[in-house]
């Protein structure tokens, strides 16, 4: 079972307001309590700064309060699980995309995407944004979103990590720099 908040076009995602109510609703529908949760899988990125921080902070807090294990899941690997052998592409803003290249996440320019993807079908919001640069892009709109079942399956396979080891994977340095 998976629940998803789909903001209306032009609306902000609302991660902070939606995440915990969606978690509570999913547990209620499953007939479970937090005490019955053994492991919490958290998408650690790459992705938006705010979304990743909210997800990581919430995952840490829930794991601590429920006594559950934590597992970090790559957003790119979860996205790639939508189609076997696919090429995950996430819009990284600033005219770049986040991709898995050689098994590692990195930022890539649009003109690099076709060579990196090869003949694999591209999935993700970056695949839609940069479709003109890719040979094959998935046609089913659902294949461009991380699916809860994929994230959970990867979390089950992952090694549990300590609460303080759960960190966002931003892939590149942030635009904001501390003042000297």
Q: Residue 54 contacts by C-beta under 8 Å, 6 or more apart in sequence? A: 15, 16, 19
**pLDDT value for 13:** 79
In the prediction, which pLDDT does 39 show?
97
Burial category of 132 from C-beta neighbours within 10 Å (exposed 0-12, middle 13-18, buried 19 and up): exposed
Q: What is the pLDDT of residue 116?
A: 97
Distance CA 33, CA 28 (A): 7
Beta carbons of 68 and 40 less than 8 angstroms apart: yes
Task: Please report whether residue 51 resides in a domain.
Answer: yes
Residue 22 lies in a domain: yes
In angstroms, the CA 99 to CA 101 distance is 6
Considering its fold, how many domains does the chain have in total? 2
- Supply the mean pLDDT for the chain: 93
Is 99 domain-assigned? yes
The answer to whether the beta carbons of residues 79 and 90 sit under 8 Å apart is yes
Sites in the chain below the pLDDT cut of 70: none
Q: 58 is in which domain, residue-wise?
A: 16-77+146-165
pLDDT at 5: 82
Q: In this structure, is residue 150 part of a structural domain?
A: yes
Whether 107 and 129 share a structural domain: yes
Asked if residue 65 is part of any domain, the answer here is: yes
**111-142 pLDDT, tens per residue?**
999 999 999 999 999 999 999 999 999 999 99
The structure's pTM equals 0.90
3-state class of 59 per DSSP?
helix
């Amino acid at each position: 079972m998976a629940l998803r908040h789909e903001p209306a076009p032009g609306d902000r995602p609302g991660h902070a307001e939606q995440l915990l109510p969606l978690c509570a609703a999913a547990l209620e529908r499953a007939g479970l309590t937090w005490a019955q949760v053994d492991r919490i899988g958290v998408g650690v990125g790459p992705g938006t700064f705010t979304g990743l921080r909210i997800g990581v902070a919430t995952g840490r807090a829930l794991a601590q309060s429920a006594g559950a294990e934590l597992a970090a899941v790559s957003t790119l690997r979860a996205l790639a699980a939508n189609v076997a052998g696919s090429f995950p592409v996430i819009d990284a803003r600033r005219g770049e995309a986040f991709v898995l290249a050689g098994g590692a996440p990195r930022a890539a320019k649009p003109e690099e995407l076709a060579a990196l993807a090869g003949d694999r079908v591209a999935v993700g919001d970056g695949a839609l944004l940069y479709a003109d640069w890719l040979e094959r892009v998935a046609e089913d709109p659902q294949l461009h979103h991380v699916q809860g079942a994929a994230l959970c399956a990867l979390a089950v396979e992952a090694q549990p990590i300590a609460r303080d080891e759960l960190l966002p994977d931003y892939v590149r340095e942030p635009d904001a720099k501390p003042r000297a």
